[in-house]
Chain A
Amino acid sequence: MNWIAWAVFFAFLIYVVTDGVRRGRKQQDLDGYFAGGRCIPWWAAGLSVMATQASAITVIGTTGQGHEKGMEFLQVYYPLPLAMVLLCIFFIPLYRKNPIITAYEYLEGRFGPATRSLASLIFLVSRCLALGVVIYAPSVVLSSMTGLDLLSTVLIMGLLTTFYTFLGGISAVVWTDVKQMTVILGGLFICLFILLSEVLQHLDFGEALRVMGSASKLNAVEVTPESVNFVPRTHAEIAANPDGMPSFWEEKYNLWSGLFGGLFLMLAYFGCDQSQVQRILTNPTANESRKALLLSAFAKIPMQALVLFIGALLYLFHLVGDEPLLYRPQDQALADRPEHVEVIDSIEQRYAAVKTERRQLAMDLADSPDDPVLQADLVGRFQGAVIRAAELRKEALTELAPPNEAGKKIPEVDTNYIFPHFVLNNLNPLLLGLIMAAIFAAAMSSIDSVLNSLSAATVIDFYKRWLRRDASEAQSLFAGKLATLFWGLLATAMAVGFEGGGSVIELVNRVGSYFYGSLLGIFTLAMICPAAKARAGLIGLAGGMLTVLAVHLSIKVEFLWYNLIGWLGVLAVGFVASRFEPR
């Protein structure tokens, strides 16, 4: 990165921080700090909802996913509009009936303080752990792009965001999110334009779609699952027969896991996660809150389709141009070491031959007449080259991976580095600075929302509920700011501590999906089961989480289904427990 790119990047950072600080001058009380004085317009809250969900990993990881696996991930988002409509109808009246600040306050009215505190605690623990990853994961990629060391990247991202969120509260969060979302969208459209203009020098648009489709990158709706075996496999069965046929429940993304698992994930995330609920509590009226959610309902699927399509286009860009064998700078350095250089050279030679063959077949496919027999033959050979190229990349990554305790080498995927590699090597300094700013913006817009919501849950659900019920507004506001600082520093410290802890990060990433279904379940139980009181609520919530744990320990199920399982677990246990409530 040269000085122009750095100048653009730092200009953006300074603008965001000063704007955030400026917004904070008006904060006088808790309602202002955590709910923006209930005067944020719906469109700003709606953009903040979208910006909060779009983390840096969404930008760099999802484009990488589009490059490697095509558009299949989009299917998780299909139920989002329905989820938003359901939230508008059933959840917003609950949240806007009284001037609450956290979603969990509602639970106390129905199930008492224990369930409220447990739900809030689940949120605090899972979100804080996840926040460490939200800071750490893009920092690793950005440090390798910029040449800054990892510690500096983590500190810039974590501390700057903590600083303006600490001073400005939710108003700073929402209004900086609006600017960050604008930069993210601008950056994405610039990349789309550049990629299209490059690709269209070799192929026309129809031919480009045909080639991308033949490489199976346009798989936006996969109706037929890979497996129709609906009997889930136990872990013991998988250990006994690792090459056995996976069950329907083990396929990560298809239309059905997206529609059913995704629906409950979206309902839980937007309806019960304080980092999202807080946005819809900042509007003046319930109808404004509804409009904020409906903005996301309209815009999210097209936005996600755009991100994944950029990834698929990036694949085509590499296909007609030149695709590197290794994207991660550390891998490129490792490949030059004497112990790897011979093997990697051999793979490079085979890779070059496959790439030439793949490119030629793609061009033949683009030029081929509409003869189905000829096309089928070409597509078959083209797909063979596509698969071989992917296998060679995997072979190279396996060669470079350190052996584990059993002496086996497990390749570490480099999906998150594909988009940054393109940005770094193909954009002029001005655009490079802007895209870097967009990636940072995506990270900061997620971090700030979570920080403010963690602080809100700490102060409202614990400090004011258990420690100082008579705290004045000034004392509570001070506690809120202190809590923001605490969570910001803790998450940044955790991100520093994650260095080298790949398995820890994977575990943390999954923590949220273990709890989300149960959180949604307890809110649903509150709405549909009037007989359920304090005891049934608490037992139901614990029952839902234990159900997920039991399923996790016994059978193999992809994480999206955990949301549905947790939700069903709470409802089943809660209903049964409500029969034994004291009358």
Chain B
Amino acid sequence: MNKAEPPFPSIYYVWVLCVAVLFIMLLYWFTESFNVPLGSA
């Protein structure tokens, strides 16, 4: 490992997690809006 390496910016982690959560929420909305579980109608 390069000793002079600067610390990795934590904001990247925050970005990744925020994008993932937003994407999963979008999929949740998508499921709730369109999907009907088999046998439930």
Residues of A near any B CB (own CB < 8 A): 70, 74, 78, 80-82, 84-85, 88-89, 93, 96-97, 209-210, 212-223, 284-287, 290-291, 294, 297-298, 301-302, 305, 376, 379-380, 383, 386-387
Contacts and interface: CB of A to CB of B under 8 A. Distances in A.
Contact of B2 (A80, A212, A218, A285): A285
Which secondary structure characterizes the binding site on chain B?
Answer: helix
10 closest A-B pairs by CB: A213-B34, A81-B20, A379-B41, A220-B27, A380-B41, A96-B1, A218-B35, A221-B28, A216-B38, A213-B35
A184 to B, nearest CB: 21
B27 A221 contact: yes
A294 B12 CA distance: 8
Interface of B: 1-2, 5-6, 8, 12-13, 16-17, 19-20, 23-24, 27-28, 30-39, 41
A559 to B, nearest CB: 22
B36 A214 contact: yes
Contacts of A301: 20, 23-24
Contacts of A222: 31, 37
A380 B41 CA distance: 5
Contacts of A84: 16
B41 A383 contact: yes
Nearest to A89: B13
B24 to A, nearest CB: 6
A74 B13 CA distance: 22
13 contacts: A82-B17, A213-B33, A214-B36, A219-B37, A220-B31, A221-B32, A222-B37, A285-B1, A285-B2, A287-B5, A302-B23, A379-B41, A383-B36
Contacts of B2: 284-286
Given A74-B27, A97-B1, A221-B27, A297 B20 contact: yes
Contacts of B1: 93, 96-97, 285-286
Given A286-B5, A287-B5, A297-B16, A78 B35 contact: no
Residue of A209, A212, A213, A215 contacting most chain B CB atoms (<10 Å): A213
A219 B20 CA distance: 18
A93 to B, nearest CB: 8
Given A301-B20, A383-B41, A219 B35 contact: yes
A82 B16 CA distance: 8
Contacts of B41: 214, 376, 379-380, 383
